[in-house]
Structure 1
Amino acid sequence: MFPTRVEIIPTAGIVDTVAAQLPVGSTVTVTCLPHHGIERTMAAALELAERGYAAVPHLAARAVSGKAQLRSILADCASAGITEVFTIGGDTQQPAGPYACALAMMRDIAESSGGTITMGVAGYPEGHPAIPAGVLLADLAAKAELAAGITTQMCFSADTINPYADALRREGIELPVWAGVAGAVPRTKLLALASKIGVGTSLRFLSKKASLARNMLGGERYQPEDLIDGLSPTAIAGLHLYSFNSLATLPLPALR
């Protein structure tokens, strides 16, 4: 049984939905999508923290205008009792400020917070469509000095996630790895959102696996239980459930 986190999209009314579906104290991460901006992410995270959830806002480096805004975000986190953020580069074409990548922002977070904020980073078991594998690994190794954990991109095979975690350890990256897994999401919703939230690579991978494709595309909902059962407790620290705000049907083995 794995500890589990739930990722939400900061749409209107989602905090009320979280309160109705998830126990107080659960860890809830809040995405930062290009068309939403970091302000919406922080507003949802602060409200979740106020209601007693362990909120983890996603900070997209390219969405942050500079050190002043970053310090303001960190001050808001401190006031709300938020002690963890998830750092990513972001998908906007033009950075809003000096941060073109997550690493530069992470260094400023570490300096400004004095180590009171822990940081998660992204991992890519299936690779990244725009970044070579060697560059991804070197970038992750550099971030590992500042990070507290790795959350993988959404995957549909334990045989992809387990070897990835093992390979990182062989490279000397000892951070805990959280397996990125889709929740029991309606098939049509997952397919419709794929291109918007960066799941295209995983879905292309899925299409090559006939049995998985039947599971995904043949029913009304994708069911992640078989994948979860295949995860290695020695390789994986926990589950990161991509909910797409479909919270009522999530598999929640142990929320933390």
Structure 2
Amino acid sequence: MSIPTARSIDVRGLLTDHSLEMTGKDVPHLLEARTSIPQGTRINVTFLENEDLRVRIRAARTVRDLGFVPVPHISARRFDSEAMLEEYLGALQADGAVDHVFAVGGDPATPHGPYGDALSVIASGVLQRYGVRSASIAGYPDGHPDISEAELWAALTDKAAALHEQGLAGGIITQFGFDVDPVIAWVEEVRRRGITLPIRVGVPGPAGIRRLVRYASRFGIGTSAGIAKKYGFSITNLVGTAGPDKFIGELAERLDPGLHGGVKLHFYTFGGLGATSSWITDRQKEAQR
């Protein structure tokens, strides 16, 4: 689907300096897709329960070796001890892959060790001791199924303040969504609260429709019918692939740099790094026509 020329400059701006996400086991896919990814692209490396330290470090090292910027995830509640976190940060530092991290609470309902949330990691001062210069934090425009809205806003405000107090640069990466309305409202509320950190809006890369609906359901992001209506596919036909054309086009139309500040895109590559990178390249070419 072509993006209308009337908003092509805005779309190009959104697609420029995008970031990507991969798992530790995606290294072969990254190697295959490397020529389609611009040098210097930020690539987040997730912290999955079924991947060990060796897998995560290898992924971050490969990102760096290929000329991209590794952003390893620090999943606070998954660390059994301070020593485990320091081992991870030390290994990243030894490989020159620790400048930027993404600090997040993580999935476990009960912390495995001393860190109950991302704030406790940021406030501890351990990140700077191992050379971290910038820490991104999570944002939830569609809310969180297990955390109240008031708690989410308090956590975001406290984490932004802690980054400033610790002398760390940072940014906000949001959970992926399908509806522009809550994203715009959320960004405006972030700015109203005086939080000036740059924001990367989470976007699902092109992927199978069934997979998109499954992930959205898992994270409590709307109903299947609502997703279909906003994202532009039919809930009666879940065969095929859907891309974020409609979402990005509407987001570009509605963003106002003077009001919303710095906003970029972060792609969750459910359909694969190669498919997402090719999709971005194609849309950039369309936007130049």
For the superposition of Structure 1 and Structure 2, which TM-score range results when normalised by the shorter chain?
A: 0.7 to 0.9
Within a 5 Å distance, the mapping from 1:134-153 to structure 2 comes to 134-145=150-161, 146=163, 148-153=170-175
Distance in 2 separating the partners of 1:18 and 1:67: 36
Match of 1:75?
A: 90
Query: Cα offset for 1:132?
Result: 0.9
Do residues 167 (structure 1) and 183 (structure 2) align? no
Deviations 1:46-82 (A, max 9, x none): 2221222111111100112222222232233333333
Match of 2:244?
A: 224
Distance in 1 separating the partners of 2:203 and 2:234: 13
Match of 2:21?
A: 7
Within a 5 Å distance, the mapping from 1:49-128 to structure 2 comes to 49-82=64-97, 83-109=99-125, 112-113=128-129, 116-128=132-144
Paired amino acid for 1:131: I
TM-score normalised by structure 2 residue count: 0.76
Give the unaligned 5+ runs of structure 1: none
CA contact (8 A) 2:141 2:175 kept: yes
Match of 1:131?
A: 147
Distance in 2 separating the partners of 1:18 and 1:61: 30
SS of the residue 1:201 aligns to: coil
CA contact (8 A) 2:205 2:267 kept: yes
Match of 1:239?
A: 265
- CA gap of 1:134–1:93, structure 2 versus 1, over 3 A, is closer
Distance in 1 separating the partners of 2:187 and 2:206: 24
Query: Cα offset for 1:210?
Result: 5.4
Match of 1:185?
A: 207
CA contact (8 A) 2:208 2:241 kept: yes
Give the unaligned 5+ runs of structure 2: 1-12, 164-168, 285-289
- CA gap of 1:110–1:124, structure 2 versus 1, over 3 A, is same
Paired amino acid for 2:243: Q
Match of 2:40 among 25, 37, 47: 25
SS of the residue 2:207 aligns to: coil
Query: Cα offset for 1:144?
Result: 0.2
CA contact (8 A) 2:93 2:131 kept: no
Larger radius of gyration: 2
Distance in 1 separating the partners of 2:231 and 2:66: 39
Distance in 1 separating the partners of 2:234 and 2:268: 15
The percent identity for this pair of structures is 29
TM-score normalised by structure 1 residue count: 0.85
Query: Cα offset for 1:187?
Result: 1.6
Match of 2:51?
A: 36
Deviations 1:63-121 (A, max 9, x none): 12222222232233333333110011111244232111111111235564377421111
Distance in 1 separating the partners of 2:132 and 2:50: 29
SS of the residue 1:87 aligns to: strand
Distance in 2 separating the partners of 1:155 and 1:37: 29
The count of residues paired between Structure 1 and Structure 2 equals: 250
More helix by share: 2
Match of 2:220 among 201, 219, 244: 201
Pick which of 176-185 and 108-117 moved more: 108-117
Paired amino acid for 1:242: Y
Paired amino acid for 1:201: G
